[in-house]
Structure formats: structure tokens, C-alpha cells
Chains A and B, each alone.
Chain A
Amino acid sequence: MLTVLLHNLLKLLHYRTALIYLLLVEGGSLLALLTVKYLWSQAILTSQLSSNFIIFFLQLCFFWLLGLPWLLFIFVQGCGLISRERKEGTLLLLVSKPIARYKIIVGKWLALVLAAFILGLCSLIITLGLIAFFVLPDYTIIYQLLRFVPFWGLYILYLTFCLAAVAISLSVFTCSSRMINLLFLGLGLFFYVLIPIGKAYAQLQVKMEYLNWLDLAAYVQNFYYFLISIPQVIYGPNFSGYCNAVFPLGLLLPGVISIIFMVAAIRRFESLDIC
């Protein structure tokens, strides 16, 4: 399993992939930072304290940092780990080797978790470095940001764990990358467009609390809120206002769903005919 893990980790962290990813993320973060700096220089935010500047910046780049590029990285790479190998024919040889099939899946999944975690953490550190550069010499803010790193790291790890499991599972169930992209788009639309709009509409008409149970984003946000409430960090997007879902479920549900996905994927892969 270690051989599979290392091979896939090196493949995922291939310098070109990593560079494109980091350029995308850091380019976005830098753009957000320059925008805030510009607004500040235009005296739009002059009355506010520098901490507000940091919070505003973090909120701007948070969705970028752990948003589109990161999700794309996990899904595009994760979905390809099985389906691409199957399409290109390398999986045929891999499964003919004396290695249990579940080890292939788990090895690939762990490689994806590690790769996305390393990239997420790198981009987080670079982003925080950028902030530190702009707020120097305010060491209080820098100290606060540094305290925040491990908790944000945990958040990244947890999200990676869950998303990688979903991506790998989809990859096992279909070898059509078009189908996977459609599924990914469908899931994204369902959880991030349909459910929030449905919730907003329902709450206008009549209270429909059960809709909260479908709000996967809220569960993930709950986990984030739980983490940042531990060190009492004041910088960073605070989702507490949006969290309507049951709090303990918010911590566990994404993980449980991911494990279910992984078990289903392993069972399917164990009996899959590869030819």
C-alpha cells in the first residue's frame, strides 16, 4: 500500500500540477489583498482598524483558498486516480499484481488526502505570509494568525479526508470523466445552490426546519466554527450566523458520509472486472 501511496503522491504533487494550483490560489489571494489595499488607500476603509482589514481579506480569500481551485484539484485529480488509469490501461497491470485491491484504493485515497492537505497548507501559509507582509510590523495580528494555522490546518485535513473519499468513490463507480464531472456539478448545484435557495424560500413561507438537515455546507461550516472557537481566534470568517444544523452532527456527518462512500467504493472495486 505504501508503494501505491508514494507513487500516487508523487504523481499528484508533480511540479506542474502543484505550480498551477499554487499560482491560481496565490494569484487569487494576492488579488484580494491588493483590492483591499486599494480600497483602504481610497479611504473607503480608513476609519476601520487594521483587524477589520484582515478579517475582510480573509473572508475574501477564504473561499478562494479552500474554494474553487482546491475543490477542483481534489475532484479532477481524485476522479482520475482510478478512472484515468482504467482508461489508459495501467490499472489492468496494477490489479494483476499480488496486492489486495482495497490497498490500491486506500493507497490512492491517502495519497490524494496528503497531496491536497500539503497543497492546502502551503497555500494557507503563503497567504498568511502575504498578510504578514502587508500588516508589518503589527506583531499582535501576526501572532494571532500564527495561532490560527493549526486549526485551519485541521479543517483542511478534515475536508480533504471527506472530499477525497467522494472523488475516489465516483471514480470507481464510473470510468467516464464526463459523467464524474456532471455528478460533481450536480452535487455542487444541489448543496450550494438548490438547498440554500430552497431554505431561504421555505423560511419565507413557513418554517421547514428539516431542510437544514440537507445543508451539507452548514455541516462543514459547523466544523469550521467548532475549530476556530477553540483558540478564540478573532481573525477569520465566522459562520456561526449561518449554522442552523445540529451542532454535533456538523462535526461527524461529513466524515460518516465519506466512510460510507469509501466502503461502497472498496466493495465495488473488489468485484470489478478490469479488462
Chain B
Amino acid sequence: MSDRAVIIQNLSYKYKQHAALRDFNLEVPPGTIHGLVGPVSAGKTTFLNILAGTIKTAIGTGKIFNYHLGSKEARSIIGYVPARPAFYANLTVWEYLNYLGRLSGLSKRETAQRINLLLKEVDLYDFRDKIPLDFTPGMKTKIAIVQSFLKSPRLLLLDEPVTGLDEPGKQSVLQIIRELSFMHGSTVIISAQHWMDIESITAAITFIDEGKVMLNAEIDEIRNLYSYGAFRLHTSDNAALLDILPRLAYPEHIIQTEDNYILVVTKAKEQFRKDISEFIYSIKAELYYFYEEEVNLGIIKRYLLPDREAE
């Protein structure tokens, strides 16, 4: 018996010839909201589909609250919100939720009670007799979230629920997820393309790319890592600059890259912008290139956490 909500070990899955997941490992403690972040085609949806039991031919092992992946028991404690919630053209919101509630194993009465309650929670009760096909993306996501909470899931899987929504829409959906998961005591795995989209509700985030875990960290650590600034420089005398830059008190990392640039990673971004011109002037060099780039996963893995194992 494990005290983890989700344990995944060496999960691999190939879609045709493309490896969608490669030796994927993850552990999620119960009662937390865990983020899954990566670019398009990173493997987020594939991973969530495997957890939801819709993909059956993945290799590897995994358990959800000690039930095997894809088993009926596991599916009965999962709520799933796909990336693009799909609805039936002939069913109203209420009929749609009723159908899925009954399929989840709820009685007719229970389903009706829970639908009414949850629709009121998300302020969509007045839309219960409408066909959801023409709803806004935000409303569709809320309906999909309602269906996932019909049976009080122990594990909630949300596939990019805020992608494509405007800022108020994002905040509204995130608040609903936070409140409902808290009320139901659910563990949540939520995916997004950008970590900042979900940082307000997550306790930890796993970054994935090309089907592999790149980084797994608590949200405070991630915020800290992303507060760094990265400056790329190229001057007429890089060697001299490399000699004097360490005299600065604040830069954390000064690296000469393979393509003969100088990369400075520091938290004191403003100060560095001010100081760098003086330094270049002091060595009588010419500045060819100066660019402040976003700290990305590559920089974090390579320079800020070079010794950190992915899992």
C-alpha cells in the first residue's frame, strides 16, 4: 500500500513511430494540485489519457490510489476533463450531465441533485436547458469540469483547461478548480503549456518535453528559478570581460557558451543592465550583441540545476 495518489514508473507509449512518452516517472501526493507543463506534443495529453484509461497499450506500471491504471476501479475514482470538451449536438447541458452522471454509476436522483448543485456553483444553472455547442470556451470548460465532479473524484485530471481562455476566464476556471477540489478533497493533475497559467493553484509542477520528465519541483522553487534574468553578450574582447565580470557581487552564473557568447544569469537584472556598460567601457571593448532572454527550461536545467535528476 502506498500513500501516494499517483505512482507512475517507466511509462512509455508510442504513437505510430513517434515516442509520445519515454520512461516517464511521476509521484503525486494525495490532496495536492500538481501541474504538468510542456509545449505542444510534449506528451501531456497522452499521459493524462493513460491515467484516464482511454489509452490501453502503454508500457510500464502505474497505480492510482493503489488501483491499476485503466482498471474499472481506477476509472471509477477519476474525473477527467479533456483538452477540447466535446458535447452531443442533441443534448442540453442537463441531459449531457445526466447521461455522464449515470455512466459514472450515480443513481437518477443523486445525479439530478449533484447536477443542480454543481451548476449553481459554477453559475451556469440558468443555462441547463441550452445546447452547449454554441457556448464560449470558458463555459464549455466549466460544464466539462462539472461533469468531472459529478461523482466526487479522488483524482481529477484536467487537460489544458485554461488554454485559449482570456485572463478573466482563466482566473474564473482556476478558482472553480481550486474551490471544487478543496470541497471534494480531490487530488488534481492539471496540464498547461505555460507554467504561469497554473502557478496560482499548483503545489508542484512537472515539466515535460518530448515525452520525458525534464524537471520536477515545488512551486516556490520554480518561481525562484524563473525570477532569474539571462543576458547574452558578445563583445570585441570576451576574454577580458570574462575576467572582470566575476568582480560583480551579484551574478550567479557567468558562462562562455559554445558559440562564443557570454551568458550571465542573475537575479539582479536591473543592476546588471546598469553596470554592464561601465564594465565594457573599462576594458575598452566594443559591444556587438546584448540580449536579455527569458529564463527557460534549458537554462534552468543546464546552468541553474545541473546536478538535479529529472525524477
Q: How far is the CA of A272 from the CA of B75 in the complex (A)?
A: 16
A93 lies within 8 A of B46 (CB): no
- Residue in contact with B78 in the complex, picked from A94, A96, A100, A275, CB distance below 8 Å: A96
Is B289 positioned at the interface, with any CB of A under 8 Å from its CB? no
A88 lies within 8 A of B104 (CB): no
Q: How far is the CA of A4 from the CA of B103 in the complex (A)?
A: 8
Q: How far is the CA of A99 from the CA of B151 in the complex (A)?
A: 14
Residues of B within 8 A of A275 (CB): 15, 45-46, 49, 54-55
Q: How far is the CA of A99 from the CA of B102 in the complex (A)?
A: 10
User: Interface code A120-164, partner B: CB below 8 Å = 1, 0 otherwise?
Assistant: 000000000000000000000000000000000000000000000
* Of listed A10, A89, A92, residue having the most chain B CB within 10 A: A92
B102 lies within 8 A of A92 (CB): no
Q: How far is the CA of A252 from the CA of B100 in the complex (A)?
A: 38
B56 lies within 8 A of A98 (CB): no
Is B206 positioned at the interface, with any CB of A under 8 Å from its CB? no
Chain A 67-121 residues near chain B, CB threshold 8 A: 88-90, 92-100
**Chain A: minimal CB distance from B72 (Å):** 5
Q: How far is the CA of A97 from the CA of B100 in the complex (A)?
A: 8
Give the A interface residue count (CB, 8 A).
24
Chain A 1-39 residues near chain B, CB threshold 8 A: 3-4, 7, 10-11, 14
Is A183 positioned at the interface, with any CB of B under 8 Å from its CB? no
Is A42 positioned at the interface, with any CB of B under 8 Å from its CB? no
Is B57 positioned at the interface, with any CB of A under 8 Å from its CB? yes
- Residue in contact with A271 in the complex, picked from B56, B82, B90, B102, CB distance below 8 Å: B56
A96 lies within 8 A of B88 (CB): no
Is B242 positioned at the interface, with any CB of A under 8 Å from its CB? no
A273 lies within 8 A of B56 (CB): yes
Is A263 positioned at the interface, with any CB of B under 8 Å from its CB? no
Is A208 positioned at the interface, with any CB of B under 8 Å from its CB? no
- Residue in contact with B53 in the complex, picked from A7, A11, A89, A95, CB distance below 8 Å: A95
Q: How far is the CA of A88 from the CA of B85 in the complex (A)?
A: 10
Is A274 positioned at the interface, with any CB of B under 8 Å from its CB? yes
Q: Which residue of A lies closest to B57 (CB)?
A: A273
**Chain B: minimal CB distance from A6 (Å):** 9
Q: How far is the CA of A4 from the CA of B100 in the complex (A)?
A: 10
Chain B 288-306 residues near chain A, CB threshold 8 A: none
Q: Which residue of B lies closest to A100 (CB)?
A: B72
Q: How many A-B residue pairs have CB under 8 A?
A: 67
B90 lies within 8 A of A96 (CB): no
B103 lies within 8 A of A97 (CB): yes
Residues of A within 8 A of B49 (CB): 92, 273-275
A11 lies within 8 A of B88 (CB): yes
The answer to whether A96 and B52 touch (CB under 8 A), given A3-B103, A89-B84, is: yes
The answer to whether A98 and B55 touch (CB under 8 A), given A90-B87, A93-B80, A275-B49, is: no
A274 lies within 8 A of B54 (CB): yes
Chain B 42-96 residues near chain A, CB threshold 8 A: 45-46, 49, 52-57, 72-73, 75-76, 78, 80, 82, 84-88, 90
Q: How far is the CA of A24 from the CA of B87 in the complex (A)?
A: 29
**Chain A: minimal CB distance from B36 (Å):** 16
Q: Which residue of B lies closest to A275 (CB)?
A: B49
- Residue in contact with A97 in the complex, picked from B15, B88, B104, CB distance below 8 Å: B104
Q: How far is the CA of A270 from the CA of B53 in the complex (A)?
A: 11
Is B39 positioned at the interface, with any CB of A under 8 Å from its CB? no
Residues of B within 8 A of A88 (CB): 86
**Chain B: minimal CB distance from A83 (Å):** 14
A99 lies within 8 A of B103 (CB): yes
User: Interface code B136-155, partner A: CB below 8 Å = 1, 0 otherwise?
Assistant: 00000000000100000000
Is B246 positioned at the interface, with any CB of A under 8 Å from its CB? no
Q: How far is the CA of A3 from the CA of B101 in the complex (A)?
A: 10
Is B99 positioned at the interface, with any CB of A under 8 Å from its CB? yes
Q: How far is the CA of A180 from the CA of B85 in the complex (A)?
A: 26
The answer to whether A93 and B86 touch (CB under 8 A), given A7-B99, A271-B57, A273-B55, is: yes
- Can you offer 28 A-B residue contacts whose CB atoms are under 8 A? A3-B102, A3-B103, A4-B103, A10-B90, A11-B88, A14-B90, A88-B86, A89-B82, A89-B84, A89-B85, A90-B86, A90-B87, A92-B82, A93-B85, A93-B147, A95-B54, A96-B52, A96-B78, A97-B75, A98-B75, A98-B76, A98-B104, A98-B105, A270-B56, A273-B49, A273-B56, A274-B54, A275-B46
Closest 6 CB pairs of A and B: A89-B86, A98-B76, A96-B52, A97-B103, A98-B75, A3-B102
Given A4-B103, A271-B57, 14 more pairs with CB closer than 8 A: A3-B103, A7-B99, A90-B87, A93-B80, A93-B82, A93-B86, A94-B103, A96-B52, A96-B75, A98-B73, A98-B75, A100-B72, A274-B49, A275-B45
